[in-house]
Amino acid sequence: MKYILFACLMGVVFTVAAQEILVSPYIQPGNASNLLREQKVIIWHTDSIPATFNVEFAAGSLEDAKKVSTAKISVITLKLGGKTSILYRAVLTGLKFDTEYAYRVTKGNDIVLAASFVSRTKKKASHFAVFGDCGVGSPEQKAIAYQVAQQKPEFVLIPGDLVYNRGMVNEYQARFFPVYNGAETSLEKGASLMKSVPFYSLLGNHDIYSSNLDKIPGGLAYFYYNDLPENAPLTEHRLELTGKPEAVKAYNAATGGRFPGTANYSFEQGNVHITCIDANSYVNPLDQALVDWMRQDIAASTSDWKIVSFHEPGFNSSKTHDEFQLMRLLSPIMEELGVDMVLNGHVHNYQRTMPLRFAPKMNDKGNQFIISKEGSVDGTFTLDQKFDGATQTKANGIIYIVTGGGGAALYDTDLSNKPELWKREAKENWVPFTVKLVSDIHSFTMIDTEGKKLTLRQINLKGETIDEIHMTK
């Protein structure tokens, strides 16, 4: 809320508006990928009135700590569509692992936010939430946020489509931050999560619809608001900005080099290694730089569990978006790298495949994969029909999960739990690889790992478990 202060001085009336905080401080993972170094970034966004902020942090509590550190703050002035605002980023470096930190953002004597977070764990365990396709401002999005908070995840992973409809600054402020970074945790309002729980995100199609900076000055807000590991190389076919040179220059300066590099990255938490990649239609999943990096990065990891996440699924038994299957091309490489699970969004429901292997079909000369103009990829499926996630828990192949029920309107609700209605096509393109499809209620995924055990639970907006599997090695 804005407070207007009227000052009367020598007969002149001044109007002084107090600064408005557009987005309250929240934490981000920052540029920390593997478990060799830990840091966090605190980001907040105000209107155009400048102020001097201070960010202090300490292990345990600020009051009792022997040493209180001060974070370095950078100030970025955004001029979007004739409106000026200020984005602040405080980098908390030199953090220990497995430690609870208290932090405080102050402005003069005013406390803007006092909160805490737990740094990443090096223990052989993890506990995290996954949901995509969320930022619409719906009651279902808020209920999912609330249920996620009840699970107390160490981090949240969003496999794309963070905000609808076009990934713009004002959409984040209306439909994303109020739901995950508000003051209240309730079924009706969402959850006060982001001040303590880092969100790792990746690009969905809606997140990139506003890459023309002339037409949409607050576009591509993803790179303003997410501060993610910068450990992947640039790919040849990647997201391009369009707009006047000065707008592009200003965007690049404001995003501090994170655009477009953080479209792909990986990180580790406990005994899980997660590779996040951009799967939008401009991408070549077999880009040499991407594949070389994945081979080196995943092979170098000693994590027990290897997960890959991207927005558009390769394996989908729903009706919507069923023809775009480009990411199937990456399956043989992921199989070779020992990837256990793939987490997708895009299709607004929940789907789980049996463990599978896929060999894309090549042309007669054997030098090119065959891809239809819609992005369909035929090939040979090998299904592990023995795995049931209860008594048979060793998977032979990759389990593909679609978890796109984070808040946007559901797709194909008539298909829920009715295998006889799931997609039926030529066997080179689709076989009954899906074992669970729930499309009549919003839901999210919780993953727990402990040593060589992994548990996946799919939880609906009422807090009920609608699917559960166990994996072992």
φ/ψ of 58, rounded to 5, equals: -160, 150
Cβ 320 to Fe ion shortest distance, Å: 10
Tokens encoding 2:
């804005």
**Nearer Cβ to Fe ion (61/281):** 281
Cβ 401 to Fe ion shortest distance, Å: 15
Site string for Fe ion, 331-370 (x = CB under 5 A): ---------------x------------------------
- Indicate whether 161 belongs to the interface with Fe ion (CB under 5 A): yes
**Nearer Cβ to Fe ion (205/429):** 205
- Angle CA(417)–CA(422)–CA(427) in degrees, nearest 5? 140
Query: For residue 176, which of 217, 212, 204 has the smallest C-alpha distance?
Result: 204
**Nearer Cβ to Fe ion (146/176):** 176
Cβ 164 to Fe ion shortest distance, Å: 9
317 CB-side CA count, 13 A: 28
φ/ψ of 460, rounded to 5, equals: -90, 180
Cβ 344 to Fe ion shortest distance, Å: 10
CA gap 449, 455 in Å, rounded: 6
Who's near 249: CB < 8 A, 6+ residues apart?
none
**Nearer Cβ to Fe ion (255/344):** 344
Helices (H), 258-350: 288-300, 331-336
Cβ 408 to Fe ion shortest distance, Å: 8
Cβ 346 to Fe ion shortest distance, Å: 4
**Nearer Cβ to Fe ion (192/316):** 316
**Nearer Cβ to Fe ion (159/397):** 159
**Nearer Cβ to Fe ion (53/411):** 411
Cβ atoms of 425 and 390 within 8 Å: the answer is no
**Nearer Cβ to Fe ion (271/316):** 316
Which residue in the shown chain puts its C-beta closest to Fe ion? 346
Please work out the total of residues on this chain that contact Fe ion, with binding judged by CB under 5 A.
4
Q: Render 229-258 in DSSP notation, one character per residue.
A: ---SPPPSS----BS-HHHHHHHHHHTTT-
Cβ 206 to Fe ion shortest distance, Å: 6
**Nearer Cβ to Fe ion (86/220):** 220
Q: Which amino acid is at 397?
A: G
Who's near 158: CB < 8 A, 6+ residues apart?
130, 131, 132, 134, 199, 200, 201, 202, 345, 406
Task: Pick out residues in 119-158 that bind Fe ion (CB under 5 A).
Answer: none
Task: Pick out residues in 164-223 that bind Fe ion (CB under 5 A).
Answer: 204-205
Cβ 167 to Fe ion shortest distance, Å: 11
- Angle CA(431)–CA(133)–CA(342) in degrees, nearest 5? 45
**Nearer Cβ to Fe ion (119/439):** 439
Cβ 405 to Fe ion shortest distance, Å: 12
Cβ atoms of 372 and 361 within 8 Å: the answer is no
Cβ 200 to Fe ion shortest distance, Å: 17
State the DSSP code for 36. T
Number of neighbouring beta carbons within 10 Å of residue 96: 10
Task: Pick out residues in 16-55 that bind Fe ion (CB under 5 A).
Answer: none
CA gap 159, 108 in Å, rounded: 38
Could you tell me whether strands 155-158 and 125-130 are parallel, antiparallel, or unpaired per DSSP bridges? parallel
Who's near 237: CB < 8 A, 6+ residues apart?
282, 283, 284, 287
Cβ 318 to Fe ion shortest distance, Å: 13
Site string for Fe ion, 401-440 (x = CB under 5 A): ----------------------------------------
Q: Which amino acid is at 394?
A: K
**Nearer Cβ to Fe ion (195/346):** 346
- 3-state secondary structure string across 384-435: CCCCCCCCCCCCCCEEEEEECCCCCCCCCHHHCCCHHHCCCCCCCCCCCCEE
Tokens encoding 368:
């090119």
Cβ atoms of 334 and 306 within 8 Å: the answer is no
Listed as own residue / partner, the contacts of 424-427 with beta carbons closer than 8 Å and 24 or more positions apart are 426/378, 427/381
**How many Å is the maximal CA-CA distance in the chain?**
88
Q: Which stretch binds Fe ion (CB under 5 A): 120-128, 160-168, 354-362, 364-372?
A: 160-168
**Nearer Cβ to Fe ion (117/131):** 131
Cβ 317 to Fe ion shortest distance, Å: 17
Instruction: Please report, as ranges, the residues that interact with Fe ion according to CB under 5 A.
Output: 161, 204-205, 346
